[in-house]
Every structure is written in structure tokens, then in C-alpha cells.
Amino acid sequence: MEADGDRAATLGIVKNRRLLYAKGYTWAEKGYPLTNTNTTFRTASCSKTVTSIAIHQLIQENRLSLDDPVQNILHLTTPSGNSPVDSRWNTITIRHLLEHTAGTPYQDPDPNIAQAFGVSLPITKMHIARSLATKFLRFDPGNTVEYSNYGYLLLTLVIEKLRGTSYIDAITSSISCPLGITHLTLSRSLVDQQCTNEARYHDSEVSLGFSVLSNAQPLAPSPYGPFKIENWDGFGGLSISGVGFARVLAALNTNVLLKGPIRSDFLEHSRGWDFSSPIMDDTWHAVKGGYISGLQSIINYNQGDISYFVAWNKNGLKGEFYPNFPALEAAITATTWDQSDLFKSLGYSSL
């Protein structure tokens, strides 16, 4: 933090079901908000892991299957009300979206989408999805792996459609409440709309951009306005405390969120992860990284063993940090951990 000018960070470490360590860190000028264990941080693309859990819960409930065509659920139309211009949209499945093999196109700038729909800024997720339907897919679904934020945007819309509520309310009901997590929220584009105990974000280049939150499009600091993070909820727009995400990782070693075969499928095929690899006896190591203006985050999950979540409030950390964070992992390995469970001391029940 000192070397890179990172003012705030959060860390949560678990072993199997137990919380070993949770701490907020501050390295900043006098008067800067202090970070504690309940301080929330944007998670960037680590949000995709949460979205994938929510999708696999729907599969577990037999309300969804991996091979369901997404268009059969969302019935996307273009801004003019027509069917998608590329007939291959009808062949995209839930599996393709989860595994980044759908060929989903890139998003146009928000002002262009607003103009196409004849609406004012800011636009919605559905505006983005319907705008994508005006484009040809980048390749035949299932043929190529290409990381896609917009595939996961479509998955958030699937969750909303099948749950009959907003994405964040669905996540709260199916993930936060069963685990007793109170620090999992929707990230906010404007600093004055953030939760009172959320970190502040600092871009490494101290750059400005035109806000997409109003037609006036004033200049704004890059973490606060040049993108509408609320539209990124399921692929980059969740905020959570370090201890909160550590609890999600601990729960993946139980049947609370996902049960055996579904959990194994979720881990084995890297759905919601950047990659996964077997450890032994049908146990898995999986990692996910997140990077947006003003924030970086890492999940390093070892099924049944030591796992951690770490985030800091500035992008552009120097040196090697992903998918492994050598300095942090060396410290974790060098520590002798006792058998206590810090979840209890922080007001959570044991898992």
C-alpha cells in the first residue's frame, strides 16, 4: 500500500468453514476515512463469481438448465422492436454465457444507446442488452472462449426474470440472507450515494471522463461517473466487505449455497472464475480477479483449505499480483493459525 499509494484495502482469510483473519487497512493522509472489517469495497469482476453462484442455484432448483437458450427467457428485441439481427442469438445458451463462449458483441457508448432508444441518460441494463441485439455475434456460440462482461450482463437479466425481482434483491435473498451477510450491496456510481462505510476510489492516472449519468455529461473522476456501475451489477458492480466475501468462500465448502454435484460442476468448468484446476479427490483451486478504475480485487479459493479475498481502492498495483499474490500468500503460509473461528467474534454463526 505504501509503495503504490493505495489508501485502503480489505482482506478476509478462511480455512474450510472457519474465518482465520479479517482486517481493514488504511495508509493515507490525516483525516482520510479509516477502513475497518465492515468497510465495503467494489469487487469489479469478482462479482461474476457471485452471479455464477446465483445461476447455479436456479439450476439446482430445476428452474433452469445449462442448455436453455437465453433468448427463450429474455426475448430480446432491437430498439426498433425487431428480432436480433443475427439468427445465432437464438443458439446462445446459459452454458455459453457462463463459460464465455457465447460470442456476445461489445457495447456501444451509453450516449449512442440512449439516442437509439430516444431516451435520456442514464440508460438501463435492458437498453444495453437490446442494443447488443443489433449486432452480429463475434463467433458461433460454443466455438471459442473469449472473456465477455456482456455475457454476464445477460445472466443478470436471466436471474431477474426467473426470480421476479432486481438482481441485488435476488442475490440478497439467495446468498446474503442464508449466510447472514449484511455488507453485500450494489455499487454506486456517485460517491455521495455510496454506503456510509464504503471505500473511496482513486484511479492510478487521476483521469477524468464525461459522465454517462445525465445528458449534460459533465467531466467526472474516472471511478465516479464515466461508467454507470449500477448497470454492471452482475459482472462488475457489487460491493462487499472482506469478511463478507470470505464468508461466501467458506460457504462454498458447505451445502448452504450449492450442493455437491452442482458445486463441483460450478468449480470444474470455471463458471464465474478465470480458471480452476483440480487439487485432489474432486476438490478444486479457483481464482478470479477484478480490475476497474479505482479498484482491484482477487479471489483465491482452495476448496476445503485456505482461501482469501483481497481488494484495494486503486487500480494499477505494480508487480506480480494475479492470479497469485506472492507476498500475501507468503505471509499466510508463514502464519501459524489456531483453531478458532473469528466469524463468531464478528457476530456471525458458524457454518
- Specify the pLDDT at position 281: 80
Same domain, yes or no, for 154 and 126?
Answer: yes
Convert the pLDDT of each residue in 69-124 to its tens digit. 999 999 999 999 999 999 999 999 999 999 999 999 999 999 999 999 999 999 99
| pTM listed for this prediction | 0.97
- CATH classification of the domain holding 13: 3.40.710.10
Same domain, 237 and 299: yes
d(CA 224, CA 207): 11
State how many domains the chain has: 2
The reply to whether 12 falls in a domain is yes
User: CB within 8 A of 19, min separation 6: which ones?
Assistant: 12, 13, 243, 246, 247, 250, 341, 342, 343, 346, 348
**Residue 16 — pLDDT band, cuts 50, 70, 90?**
very high
* pLDDT given for residue 325 in this prediction: 82
Whether 1 maps to a domain, the answer reads no
Q: Where are the beta strands (DSSP E) in 51-113?
A: none
Is 54 within the bounds of a domain?
no
Tell whether 109 and 162 lie within a shared domain. yes
Distance, first Cα to last Cα, the chain: 32
Distance CA 57, CA 132 (A): 27
- Is 59's pLDDT higher than 80? yes
In the prediction, which pLDDT does 82 show? Answer: 98
Could you tell me the maximum CA-CA distance found in the chain, to the nearest angstrom? Answer: 62
**Do 211 and 284 sit in the same domain of this protein?**
yes
Average pLDDT over residues 301-314: 96
What average pLDDT does the chain have?
96
* Region 342-349 average pLDDT: 95
Instruction: Note whether 128 and 262 are same-domain residues.
Output: no
Q: Tell me: the pLDDT tens digits for 268-282?
A: 999 999 999 999 888
- In terms of domains, do 105 and 81 share one? yes
Do 206 and 308 reside in the same domain of the chain?
yes
Per-residue pLDDT at 3 exceeds 90:
no
Q: Can you tell me the distance from the alpha carbon of 73 to that of 259, in angstroms, rounded to the nearest whole number?
A: 25
Task: Flag the least confident range among 153-162, 217-226, 313-322.
Answer: 313-322
Domain that holds residue 197: 8-46+180-345
The per-residue pLDDT for 288 is 96
Q: What single DSSP character describes residue 197?
A: T
Question: Is 350 contained in some domain?
Answer: no
Q: Is 329 found in the same domain as 234?
A: yes
**What is the Cα–Cα distance from 292 to 315, expressed in whole angstroms?**
7
User: For residues 302 and 252, is the Cβ–Cβ distance under 8 A?
Assistant: no
Q: Mark whether 162 and 205 lie in a shared domain.
A: no
Claim to verify: residue 20 and residue 87 sit in the same structural domain: no
Whether 322 shows a pLDDT value over 80: the answer reads no
pLDDT of 12 reads: 98
Say if 155 falls within a structural domain: yes
Listed in sequence order, the residues at least 6 apart from 190 whose beta carbon sits closer than 8 Å to its beta carbon are: 213, 224, 225
